[in-house]
Amino acid sequence: MSRWASLLGVLIPFMLSAYAVFSISLAADQLSASLRVPKALVLVAIPVDFIGGAIGGVAIGYLADRAGRRAALYVAEAVFSVAVALASQLRGLAQLYAAWFFVGFGVNAQNGVSYPVVVELLRSSRGLVGGIMQGLYFIGFFLDALTFQLVPHWRTYFLVVGLVSLILTVALNSLVAETAARSYRGLGLRAFDRRLALLTAGLSAISVGAFMFTIPLLSVVPSFITSMGLSRSWVEPLSIVGFIGFIVAGWASDVAGRLKTALAFIAVSLASAAALVVLARGYAGLAALSLMFFASGYFSFLGVWASETYPAELRATGTNVVFLVARVVGGFSTAIAAFIYPPSLRVGTALTGIIAGAIALAGAAAFYLAARPAPAARPPR
């Protein structure tokens, strides 16, 4: 199995995981009408999917370290694909929440196992490939919009998304070479020591900041951009800026190092979020938003960075532990943006971005302190 075929077998299913998880955002209005509930209750499925993702990531990550990467990918991809397809038959809100719990369970598990595969396949350009891979979330959302135009009824739409995801992910997963050596499978938590625990805490804080910063940009900005005197059509160019930021950040992390690149992008995220607080309208506000979308790029190489940090026997589990808290906090970040400053969603999003940047900065400092080599012992006199 060639390396490039294996990468294709990871990248396309990663994109399809976004295709699956974002499908609810296109169908939310129809679901609200069909189930006769407020749209806000439909959108509660989003934090539910992140809770499912936190659990699924660790559970399937552990499976990946014990049974192998390919087996774990098959399970994760089957779970989220079947869950979306079954959502086409739901009759109530509880069934929607259950379906989206398992969508999140599978999607985040698939993502969390994909990062170790990339690290184990490549010797260089891992950050760039990680950036491209994470940027495929934008393409997945685009495919949702296209599918919904072609199949505009939510039941048929979910069925199509689920079946397309299931068929393609199973077929493409057969291209992925098994990268987990049998000699270290099952060693697991015995490799976890105090230094690794401190590195995990630092990476977890950076991940919390990245999720808190990025998710409101993708979900809340369309709701307030018109209040800034800007057309909603600016959302698409902003998404492209975000995609470019992901790729640039991934490439820069290969050249300058993960920590230095993260610090640079976190600094830009803090500055741009602070600017959005005061730049309320027009192109000045658009410039601040553009910088925020670009600065979200430090999210792009976090999965690769986490996977590189752990020994092979703990790689998939450790990577998903890093994202555990971040997935839960990220799921509620849109609510934080809405409630932290009720008079203005723009200001609330900016303040959430500032808090996220501060958390990420603290995490970077913790990672630096944990990663420093221990001082050499002084020779006896």
Whether the pLDDT of residue 269 is over 70: the answer is yes
Question: pTM for the whole thing?
Answer: 0.85
> In the prediction, which pLDDT does 39 show?
84
Q: What is the pLDDT of residue 376?
A: 55
What pLDDT, on the 0 to 100 scale, is given for residue 374? 60
**Mean pLDDT for the stretch of residues 261-275:** 97
Q: Mean pLDDT for the chain?
A: 89
| Domain 192-370 top-level CATH class | mainly alpha
Which residue has 């944990």 as its token pair? 370
Is the pLDDT score of 182 beyond 80?
Answer: no
Report the range of poorest mean pLDDT among 104-108, 309-313, 348-352. Answer: 309-313
The Cα 117–Cα 322 span in angstroms is 16
Residue indicated by tokens 């012992």: 377
Say which range, 43-52, 179-188, 237-246, has the weakest mean pLDDT. Answer: 179-188
Average pLDDT over residues 314-333: 87
pLDDT at 226: 87
Evaluate whether 99 touches 83 at the Cβ level (below 8 Å): yes
pLDDT band at residue 331 using 50, 70 and 90 as cut-offs: confident
Give me the pLDDT at residue 297, please. 92
Q: In this model, does residue 185 exceed pLDDT 60?
A: no
pLDDT digits (tens, 9 = 90+) for 193-236: 788 889 999 999 999 999 999 988 877 887 788 889 998 788 88
Tell me: pLDDT of 250 over 80. Answer: yes
Residue 97 or residue 187, greater confidence: 97
CA distances from 289 to 36, 172, 271, 276 (A): 35, 37, 11, 7
pLDDT for position 332: 86
Would you say domain 1-174 falls under CATH 3.90.1640.10?
no
- Residue 75 CA to its chain's centroid (Å): 19
CATH 1.20.1250.20: which residues of the chain?
Answer: 1-174, 192-370
> What pLDDT was estimated at residue 186?
53
Cβ atoms of 69 and 117 within 8 Å: the answer is yes
- Give yes or no for residue 13 having a pLDDT over 60: yes
Own/partner pairs, 345-349, CB within 8 angstroms, 24+ separation: 345/220, 345/223, 345/224, 345/227, 346/224, 346/227, 346/228, 346/276, 346/280, 346/285, 347/276, 347/277, 349/216, 349/217, 349/220, 349/221, 349/224, 349/276
- From the number of C-beta atoms within 10 Å of its C-beta (0-12, 13-18, 19+), residue 9 rates as buried
| pLDDT 10s digits, 332-350 | 888 898 889 989 989 999 9
Residue 181 is predicted with a pLDDT of: 65
Residue 375 pLDDT: 61
